[in-house]
Amino acid sequence: MFTDAPLRQMEEIMRAVSAGFACEPVEFNAEGNHAHLLLNFPPQVLETAAPSGYRHLQLR
């Protein structure tokens, strides 16, 4: 179960990674043991590049 401190840290990390891919986080929330992230990708951003960046975070 997520608590407030880890959720805030995850949101900060997701926002930082999103900025690196030039996309904008629209919504971030969590339920139980998983999180939801909704991103807005501008047309010039390659959508397949961002998921690999987020997957890399899971390996840490």
* pLDDT, tens digit (0-9, with 9 covering 90-100), for 3-57: 788 888 888 888 888 887 778 889 988 877 788 888 887 777 665 655 555 555 5
60 — pLDDT class (breaks 50, 70, 90):
very low
The pair phi, psi for residue 32, each rounded to 5°, is 55, -105
59 — pLDDT class (breaks 50, 70, 90):
very low
Task: Label residue 12 exposed, middle or buried (CB < 10 Å: 0-12, 13-18, 19+).
Answer: exposed
pTM for this model (two decimals): 0.59
